Amino acid sequence: MAERNIESVNKVREAVSQDLLGGRIDLLLGWEKGHYWWQSRPLFARSEEDLEKLAWDSFCAVNLSRYLLEELKDHDKIGVLVKGCDARAFNRLLQDNMVKRDQVILYGLPCPGMLDYNRLIEKAGGALLGITEENGRVILNIESGEQEAQRDDLLLDKCKDCRYPDPAVYDQLLFSPQGEKEGPERFKTVEELEEMSAEERFGYWEKELSRCLRCYACRQACPFCSCRECFVEQENPRWQGRAYQPSENFMFHLVRAYHGTGRCIDCGECERSCPVDIPLQELNRKLIKDINELYGDYEAGLDAEQEPPLLTYRPDDPAAFSEK
Amino acid sequence: MKKVIAREKLPELWKSLAAKGPLFLPIQEGPVVLFQPWQEGAEINLDAVNTAVSPKDVFLPREETYMQYRCSGKQLELIPAENIEPVTAFGVHPCDLKAVEMLDKVYIDQDPPDALYKKRRENTTVVGLSCSEPDPFCFCNEFGVDPADAPGADVMAHLKNGSVLLEARTDKGKALLEQAGDLLQDGSKETAEVKDVKTADFGLNLEGLPENLKERFEDPVWDELYKSCLGCGVCTYVCPTCYCFDVEDFGHEGEGQRFRCWDSCMYGHFTAMAGGHNPRAGRKERVRQRFMHKLQYYPEIFNEIACVGCGRCLRSCPVNLDIVQAIKALGGETVEQR
């Protein structure tokens, strides 16, 4: 089993159960174990019995903040467990006026990064029975015995270059902060793509996007995709055709990415949710990089008071388009 | 008829089969394996247990043209869809082929049958592929699928150490092996190294579940089960037994095509009506529809649950709201296992 630390689950449970059972919140959004030790899925806890199922381990990748959009319709006050990215997602929703701060209690979980099951089995090279973790190392429990690996090598792509593992907003921080990180390779692939000629780059994306099933998991998992009606579903005018043509794939993915310019919090839930592994974070990160270069460094979701660059007007804003 | 081919000769076999018509098989596409048409240089991956998306699109393509149209003035010209060529689907695992047989009941065993689907099905030679190692997400044993055999295949293929054994089961299958000629060697003395493949055991008890669900449309289970659903269409699109489509036009003024394409009951617009009413207003109604279709509506008509245990929804749902989750929540679990 993926035991990280029973103590830490207990600590989380203790913190939230007082509030849930004491009536300070009517719902807690957390995680519970799925069928497998490598799956932790959303938990909607309302009772002590529900809280028994609470999990906090290396597989709690699902961003819970997005569920507030629906759940706040039925509850007055909701508690949410937030990792660094989930907290930025909360700020995103706050800035979009989709949630109210005083209706939510945030329990901050400084996050060591979540593990990728595919990397684990690749490392194990065969049947993997479970893992144990200690001090940044992961011990893989394989049929022939044990194998040790560095935790950093087994992270989900979305966690690899995470710069802000600590929640930027919370009511209560449950563990000691991890501190800001460098994320040295965050823009590495984007830079490689920028080096390509326009034709090469078009070919690259045409191939990657050709796998798109238009299941819209990327949109549904995304904290910046909070529009009540997405352009995809609009009938008049009809922006998005249903055909599986390259032009329609580009239409969807480019509009989706552009709509997140200066708003994408780089949580990578889009890419993690994609059933055919389209590297969507490269599109998002290209736009993050462009914003940084044009308007100065900006990290969406870090500070709810700081307006996204494309939603503000300043007379000294660069006018890159007209200058060229 | 049994034939055998050395693994290193397979690329020649692909080439010769593809020369006669489209050849679909599991191809490594970047990080995922997809059931796709063969092309020179394609990286074939026969060892992958499950393709990311099921092979159903060989028979029910993601997008399929009904006809093309062209208008000039008051003249309307309708051009029927292009001919459906004979194709070969190589490497369809037993669960996925059983799922195709479930689609047959919907698309062929009806009056009238669906002409396009029927034609594609008849024009396809299916080479089944037995499973030697289950994927951790596989649970086909729960649905009585034998991972070692796909009874409906035209040819059954078994991977052996260094070779592949091909056993023709139908005339179409024999014709396929005969076409390959000298590339194949006589395999009449060969036997498949069939392993007893044990898939995940979730302790499901499906006995009586469809009947039991008949009166449970308003069951409080639905009020909880749907909560984690994101409302995307992953489950329906990777699923081998989901078969819904929509009909649309694609074109510009004066010309275009009318086509059908996959649709998903998880989408709001699936049941949206002119005038704005939507009988399945939210995620609860949509999640209920999908699981009821698998576990009650389909079985009521065709006497079997519309799931083959391929495990794709267990692997791909971003929040792990899969069919096992649903079956368990609905009480389809052996009590001792709880």
ipTM, 2 decimals?
0.94
Does residue A124 form part of some domain?
Answer: yes
pLDDT band at A320 (very low <50, low <70, confident <90, very high): low
Give the number of beta-carbon pairs within 8 Å between A and B. 101
Does residue A159 form part of some domain?
Answer: no
Shortest Cα–Cα distance, A279 to chain B (Å): 10
Q: Looking at the structure, do residues A83 and A194 belong to the same domain, yes or no?
A: no
pLDDT band at B167 (very low <50, low <70, confident <90, very high): very high
Domain region containing A42: 2-113+165-173
Q: Quick one: average pLDDT of A56-60?
A: 96
Q: Looking at the structure, do residues A109 and A208 belong to the same domain, yes or no?
A: no
Task: List chain B residues with CB under 8 Å of A39.
Answer: 320
Sheet holding B63-72, edge to edge: B75-80, B63-72, B255-262, B245-252
Task: Check whether A2 has a pLDDT greater than 50.
Answer: no
Does residue A322 form part of some domain?
Answer: no
Q: Looking at the structure, do residues A283 and A304 belong to the same domain, yes or no?
A: yes
pLDDT band at B337 (very low <50, low <70, confident <90, very high): very low
Listing DSSP states for B13-49 in one string gives HHHHHHTTS-EEEEEEETTEEEEEE--TT--B-TT-S
The residue with greater pLDDT, A69 or B82, is A69
- Which of A44, A216, A276 lies closest to B233 in CB terms? A216
In chain B, the N- to C-terminal Cα span, in Å, equals 48
- Which of B227, B250, B324 lies closest to A44 in CB terms? B227
Q: Looking at the structure, do residues A94 and A8 belong to the same domain, yes or no?
A: yes
Tell if the CB–CB gap between A273 and B232 is shorter than 8 Å: yes
Structure confidence at residue A323 (pLDDT) = 57
Q: Looking at the structure, do residues A11 and A132 belong to the same domain, yes or no?
A: no
Structure confidence at residue A125 (pLDDT) = 87
Tokens of B60: 């029910």
Q: How far apart are CA A276 and CA B260, in angstroms?
A: 22
Q: How far apart are CA A121 and CA B143, in angstroms?
A: 26
The neighbouring-strand residues paired with A81 are A107
- Which of A66, A215, A269 lies closest to B234 in CB terms? A215
C-alpha distances in Å from residue A192, one per residue of A158, A187, A200, A255, A282: 18, 9, 11, 22, 10
- pTM attached to this predicted model: 0.94
Tell if the CB–CB gap between A275 and B227 is shorter than 8 Å: no
Task: List chain B residues with CB under 8 Å of A70.
Answer: 283
Tell if the CB–CB gap between A35 and B234 is shorter than 8 Å: no
The neighbouring-strand residues paired with B27 are B34, B44
In eight-state DSSP terms, residue B293 is: I
| Residues 13-42 (A) with a CB less than 8 A from some CB of B | 34-36, 39, 41-42
Tell if the CB–CB gap between B30 and A219 is shorter than 8 Å: no
| Contact (Cβ atoms closer than 8 angstroms) between residue B146 and residue B309 | no
Q: Looking at the structure, do residues A107 and A30 belong to the same domain, yes or no?
A: yes
Query: Beta A172-173 vs A104-108: how paired, if at all?
Result: parallel
Task: List chain B residues with CB under 8 Å of A34.
Answer: 320, 325
Tell if the CB–CB gap between A211 and B30 is shorter than 8 Å: yes
Q: Quick one: average pLDDT of A292-309?
A: 92
Residue with tokens 């709810």: A304
Q: Looking at the structure, do residues A139 and A107 belong to the same domain, yes or no?
A: no
Q: Quick one: average pLDDT of B99-128?
A: 96
SS3 B318: coil
Q: Looking at the structure, do residues A233 and A276 belong to the same domain, yes or no?
A: yes
Query: How many structural domains is chain A composed of?
Result: 3
pLDDT in tens, B65-89: 999 999 998 899 999 887 899 999 9
Shortest Cα–Cα distance, A278 to chain B (Å): 9
Tell if the CB–CB gap between A217 and B32 is shorter than 8 Å: no
Q: How far apart are CA A189 and CA B138, in angstroms?
A: 34
Q: Looking at the structure, do residues A135 and A232 belong to the same domain, yes or no?
A: no
Among the residue ranges A69-83, B182-196, B236-250, the one predicted with the least confidence is: B182-196
Query: Beta B63-72 vs A104-108: how paired, if at all?
Result: unpaired
Tokens of B9: 């000769």
Q: Looking at the structure, do residues A107 and A121 belong to the same domain, yes or no?
A: no
In eight-state DSSP terms, residue B294 is: I
| Contact (Cβ atoms closer than 8 angstroms) between residue B54 and residue B239 | yes
Task: List chain A residues with CB under 8 Å of B227.
Answer: 42, 44, 67
The last residue of a domain, from among A173, A204, A219: A173
Residue with tokens 């596409």: B29
pLDDT band at A322 (very low <50, low <70, confident <90, very high): low
Q: Looking at the structure, do residues A91 and A207 belong to the same domain, yes or no?
A: no
Tell if the CB–CB gap between A217 and B234 is shorter than 8 Å: yes
Does residue A324 form part of some domain?
Answer: no
Structure confidence at residue A321 (pLDDT) = 64
Q: Looking at the structure, do residues A196 and A305 belong to the same domain, yes or no?
A: yes
